[in-house]
Amino acid sequence: MKINPHLHGLHGVALLHNPLLNKGTAFTEAERDAFGLRGLLPTRVITQEQQLARVLETVRNKPTDLERYIYLISLQERNEALFYRLVTDHVTEMMPLIYTPTVGLACQRYALIFRRPRGLFIGLRDRGRVKQILQNWPHADVRMIVVTDGERILGLGDLGTNGMGIPVGKLSLYTACAGVAPDQCMPVMLDVGTNNQAMLDDPHYLGAAHRRERGPAYDELVAEFITSVQAIFPLACIQFEDFGNANAFRLLHEYRDQVCTFNDDIQGTAAVALAGIYSALRITGGSLANQRFLFLGAGEAGIGIGELMVEALKAEGVTEADARRQCWYVDSKGLVVAGRTDLTAHKRPFAHDHPGAATLLAAVEALKPTMLIGVSGMPSAFVEPVVRAMARLNPNPVIFALSNPTSKAECTAEQAYTWSDGRAVFASGSPFPAFEFKGRTYLPGQGNNAYIFPGVGLGIIASQAQRVTEEMFSVAANVLASLVTGEDLAVGRVYPDLQRIREVSAAIACAVAQVAFRRGLTRMLCPEDLPAHVQAQMYDPTYPDYV
């Protein structure tokens, strides 16, 4: 009898309680005999398909999305293969439950719905012993780390340690969308306090109940974390997630040329938005060089998109100065222009000589943008006069309301289509349902980073890349856009059907790995058959035979 080597001698209840190996009622008769499971399970042997039907029914019968989230996390905690089978096979239905928008609510209620810890928590008092803490992690071959300090969770602001739901959810998407093996993923919370008074006042709050550290101790902790990861998990990529504005840009610039790292809020968002813009151009018929982009929000997402856009325009022969002049920003103080004295470093390259504009509507009228992109976290900021002005100025106004969760979207799909008389090309950050207008059905696209980061991560893992470059995000955007079909565009969708996400991620991974090999960023040789090599890395949530 050949025993599956991954079982590491596990037996009986210990096997049933191991989420990576557990099959529950699907353990076969032979496996029940081989692993001391006889008597520990109900009599009938069930297939994974039957289990899948049962858990799907259970999820659907839950009264609220938060209850669905709690159920799904508990399933993940006891049977990863079944959890990933469910999420992979029903990704369109499950993604909003394990990620945005539901994960936002789950983070806000983190202490109340907390059952079992998931991920690694590292605090200020752990300085000097971060390596030891990483060694407590139960898996040795960590390849993808998502780390947050909880300061800017989605568009919800500072949630402190409650933000752990985000790395957990994001890594679930690495596995579900790109097949990064669950035991190669590690969620991390750098708990440096919170400035959220409601959290500090909450007796149930589980994090360090003091105000956020802003001094050298913060940088020391981040630096020790990075060097410790390199020592303990040398092949790991570190994805920074939902850090506040100032730290996000600063840390990216500090570490991007030193270690394998990227910031998804800045770079992943940029790639998904750029892909949506390429697709939108197939509907509007223009070229990138002839567009004028107006962003509401000049933070990580907005500036990240602008910077990648500049690279894309330069690749089309536009000079850097001209490319920057195609990108305009409105932030909380109005139009970002050269005359302003309150601009942070990341906004200045996009501050052009121009009179100011106090409102978004005034900026739209003055600049006549072809594309309006909402990344402000300001709900309902695309008011009717703004959308109507865009529709007056453009035959097909491109309107992306990318802020998450749904409650933060700058406008709804219904508003964009109705106020533009059905002419808008619309995408959002969180999903909106199909919308009927004047006999036509629109399926709004979700400009979800999940189209990009899982594939980028898989490409990095498959090539053992030592750096993550802007070029990788450019190629990822191009690959994603190339997979949008004529049928997608016909219903107004500027992204591929989410059900194709694993195919999308595999294609992005190949392109990213090619960049890594071409630029000499890896320690291994390029495999002869790269697509087959990438496929071979992808975790399959189908139960293997253990006997």
Complex with ligand NAD: residue 76 or 449, whichever CB lies closer: 449
Look at the chain and count its residues.
547
Name the E strands within 106-258: 120-123, 144-148, 185-191, 237-240
- Known catalytic residue at 278: no
Complex with ligand NAD: residue 96 or 447, whichever CB lies closer: 447
| C-alpha 112, offset from chain centre | 24
Provide, rounded to whole angstroms, the least separation between the CB of residue 466 and ligand NAD: 26
Distance, CA of 385 to CA of 324 (rounded, Å)? 27
Provide, rounded to whole angstroms, the least separation between the CB of residue 360 and ligand NAD: 7
- The stretches of 149-189 forming alpha helices (DSSP H) are 165-178
- Known catalytic residue at 442: no
**Burial grade of 531 (CB within 10 A; 0-12, 13-18, 19 or more):** middle
Write the CB contacts of 376 (distance below 8 Å, at least 6 apart in sequence). Answer: 296, 297, 299, 302, 331, 332, 403, 410
Complex with ligand NAD: residue 236 or 298, whichever CB lies closer: 298
Distance, CA of 132 to CA of 104 (rounded, Å)? 31
Query: Alpha carbon of 416 to those of 13, 290, 467: distances in Å?
Result: 54, 23, 39
Of 269, 177, 275, nearest in space to 482 by CA: 275
Provide, rounded to whole angstroms, the least separation between the CB of residue 381 and ligand NAD: 6
Whether the Cβ atoms of residue 385 and residue 309 lie closer than 8 Å to each other: no
- Which residues, listed in sequence order, are joined to residue 245 by a DSSP beta bridge? none
Largest CA distance in the chain: 79
Complex with ligand NAD: residue 299 or 444, whichever CB lies closer: 299
Complex with ligand NAD: residue 152 or 212, whichever CB lies closer: 152
The tokens of 94 are what?
A: 């499950």
Q: Amino acid identity of 347?
A: K
Provide, rounded to whole angstroms, the least separation between the CB of residue 446 and ligand NAD: 8
Provide, rounded to whole angstroms, the least separation between the CB of residue 428 and ligand NAD: 7
Whether the Cβ atoms of residue 119 and residue 216 lie closer than 8 Å to each other: no
Whether the Cβ atoms of residue 374 and residue 409 lie closer than 8 Å to each other: yes
Complex with ligand NAD: residue 143 or 408, whichever CB lies closer: 408
Provide, rounded to whole angstroms, the least separation between the CB of residue 431 and ligand NAD: 11
Question: Using CB under 6 A as the criterion, which residues of the chain lie in contact with ligand NAD when the complex forms?
Answer: 152, 154-155, 245, 265, 269, 272, 296-302, 330-332, 375-378, 402-404, 408, 429, 447-449
Distance, CA of 40 to CA of 52 (rounded, Å)? 21
Q: Is the dihedral of CA 209, 154, 103, 77 positive or negative?
A: negative
The catalytic residue among 23, 84, 170, 205 is: 170
Ranked by CB distance to ligand NAD, the top (closest) residue is 299
Token match 């989410």: residue? 498
Whether the Cβ atoms of residue 372 and residue 294 lie closer than 8 Å to each other: yes
Distance, CA of 87 to CA of 81 (rounded, Å)? 10
Provide, rounded to whole angstroms, the least separation between the CB of residue 507 and ligand NAD: 19
Buried b (16+ CB within 10 A) or exposed e, 67-97: ebbbbbbebbeebbbbbbbbbbebbebbbbb
Complex with ligand NAD: residue 409 or 506, whichever CB lies closer: 409
Complex with ligand NAD: residue 120 or 251, whichever CB lies closer: 251
Complex with ligand NAD: residue 15 or 508, whichever CB lies closer: 508
Of 546, 510, 539, 544, nearest in space to 87 by CA: 539
The catalytic residue among 99, 278, 417, 543 is: 99
Of 372, 421, 428, nearest in space to 404 by CA: 428
Provide, rounded to whole angstroms, the least separation between the CB of residue 358 and ligand NAD: 11
Provide, rounded to whole angstroms, the least separation between the CB of residue 96 and ligand NAD: 13
- Return the number of other C-beta atoms located less than 10 Å from residue 14's C-beta: 13
Beta strands 435-437 and 440-442 are antiparallel
Provide, rounded to whole angstroms, the least separation between the CB of residue 173 and ligand NAD: 11
Complex with ligand NAD: residue 247 or 326, whichever CB lies closer: 247
Q: What is the dihedral of CA 25, 26, 27, 30, to 10 degrees?
A: 120
Q: Amino acid identity of 103?
A: V
Q: Which residues are catalytic?
A: 99, 170
